[in-house]
Structure 1
Amino acid sequence: MCSKMQVKVSSIIGLFCLTGCFYQIYDITKSYLQFKVRHDVAYDYSTSIELPAIDIMVPMPMALNYSIILATNPEEMNLICAQLNKKYKELNYKIDDSHGRCEDAIPLSILAKDPIAFSLNVSANITVQDIHLASIDLEHQVIEIFVPFFGSLNHEHCKTTRYYNGLAIFMRIFCLNGTKPFSVNTNFVSRNLGYSYFLRYSFGIHFGIRLSDPADLPIFERNKYFMITREPGSFPVVTISSVKTVMSSLEYPYETNCRYYNKDKSISKCMAEYTLSQSTPYLFKTAIYEWNEHPSHLGFNGDNNDNQRNDGNKVNQGELDAFINCNQQAAATQCEKTEYLLEGKISDQEMEYGLILFKPSWKANINLSVHPILPWDQYVILIGSIVGIWFGVSMLDYMLKITTIIKTTFTSLKHKLNNETNEIVVDYDYTQ
């Protein structure tokens, strides 16, 4: 009867342990398979400052040589020159004066208005060929890039890539020391030079500069650039510092569901597929293109031709729908992205050439990272601990049995010893 009762209790304990173990494994597995994440923010002051890619952006109206653009229409060019001579009397430019160039005064007039807004008018009436032939060559306006302890960089160290869209031209400069970007020790720079590297230039009177990840395309948004405006004939000293933000996430199956791709490039490619497939192929005016990427006859609106000139404000519903669709296709966030936030100031000091000093920022760099709440190694450890705990609980029954056996055996031995002792005593009294 007692043995049956023990078997029943043992079965109940075993079933309880098995149920509890499976339930906890199910619960922790369910939590793991949800692939939840945690977001971490870390700040650090880097011990070295790297030289990332440098992007130069010049709004299209400020980048064109209008003598070339209007060469087929000298009357219009003469009219523009006459108006500018009246406005800027001290310039005294003439269309046929080889010593004076009327087009130098045109950017002054544009700058007095809004070069970005004026870009819309320009984009509606130019082609890729106009940009190739009439835009300034930014590469020849870079005089020197200097890195402390190394010296001036040349074409062996730096690669320049030219880009354009309907609103601006761009140039990217990316320099490598072997296979890695140039870097300068932050502490030494702060104690001695005060700058980490500098750029000497002869760019025009209005342009933007930014630092970027070389894997990304240049961008047009003016608020992403530090805009530099100067008077004709004078070059200021500009100081710039940057804060680096590095973002890293986790792709599927984690809930962040990011993708290892370039979002801007994806949207640009998608829009190019749409605009180039139209009955009159054209280029989307805000997308960024490499210098020789597309044929020179293309313009930036579907109705562009030699007999039509407009103000660029026409809204193309099909283009708008395509843009929305392309953004929806590229809705996923990028798993890795690096951005630079620039701050700077323009001094009153005048130089023979423009000078941009890149200085260390007193602000910390930012690292935005995503980590799994329950990574694989922790999941395995938890499963092992759950099995171990419930295995230990299930062993209690066997431990009780062993304890009972030991206790019974000990009692039996004690009883036997007592009996043997009593027999010896009785025998002793008998012989007496």
Structure 2
Amino acid sequence: MKKHLFILLALSLGFSSNAFAADRDLGGKTITIANYNNIVEPDEKFTTYEEVLWEYRHELMDTHNFTFEQKGLGTWDTMLELFATSSLSGNPAAEIFRMDPRFTIAAMNSGLCYDLATLDSIDIENPMWLDTTEEMMTRDDSVYGVFTTFAPRRLLFFNKRLFEEAGLDPNLPYDLQASGEWTWEAFEEISQKLTRDIDNDGLTDVHAMVFDHAKFFSMAVLSNGGSFVEKNEDDMFYNNLSSPETMEALEWAAAYAQKNYEIFPTNWKGQTAMFINAQAAMVIADDWETATIKNMDDDYGVVLFPKGPNATEHVVFTQDSAWVIPNTYSKAEAEDIAFALKMWMALPPEYDDPDAWRLASYANYRDDRAVDETLALAREPGVAKVDYSTVIGAAVNTNLFINKIYINGLTPVESVEAINAVWQAELDKVNGVPGIVAPK
């Protein structure tokens, strides 16, 4: 997989730098991204694209007189501290820091991120930057971080052989998704048929789903137009658990979990393995997990989660990192840093195609419909969704909330009542003001 990292990164952008200023000189500066690991030019290029990409990057560095590097200076959970301590000292450890989604809001609230909206060298509205990251990192008219690599999460993988053995068309989820009929109701009907006692001993031999209850409940909420935590027009976060859309989704997910369609793994890492071993016909997994799933014996397909009755379109969950620049730099310095970042993340002109990302994705999936239909749908405007609960802080813990329903047997209403005060206290802390509530 490592040999594909640069392809996946660049192809996901769909943008080249051919419109950028050709005569800009950065004076030999070295621009460093503080990453979780070193990302260097591979000694051996495995594809024509890699050869073209690195040749293009060297050309850009020569033309604009700069050096760009990505160094492993921290881990996902130490990067915020490195960013804060080094920036406060007046000597940032890097020009750009990669922030894990769980720390993006904390980074923004630290007051140490440069407002990228004030820079001329980076067009925030350019399609090379993810809309979801921009939305997350916006406060009033200021934007404090950008990112490029789109990674769809919580996709629904299905085993085609088990569908056929249950008397179902192996491409049924694809067809329902294409027709707009991939709904909770259709999903439940399919789940009932997939859950089978093959040898008539009274025990279920094949389940519909390997169950990660945290992922299932959260996708039910998103797929019905709900959310755990929302942001109002004043950029203040509020608890959205009691909204009609969210409560309906929680009730449906809780009811689904009572029907014996699911098999619960013995450890939290076991979901994918149980799907690969055909113990269940479906599993919710992230795009990156195709590295393992694609080698399974059975054929499989991939669709988005079915939509709820309050939704008009399908959704996919995403959880974006953010690149931030310390505000200790002068405007001239920040302009150069932003310019170098834009250069480095650009596509070579010959690969400047909005659909270029497909080339890398085909090799990671078993059939073309996963790419041409499901991943293409995931990239349509408004389909990718972020729930703000993922970036608020440890106290807003959706897993513990869902555990109260699925494991402890509380009703959704009882579970909401049990955590409301804890969540509100954390949201007040993040907002910096008391008592922000959902809009009427």
TM-score bin (small chain):
under 0.3
TM-score of the aligned structures, taking structure 2 as reference length: 0.23
Structure number with larger C-alpha Rg: 1
TM-score of the aligned structures, taking structure 1 as reference length: 0.23
Structure that is richer in strand per residue: 1
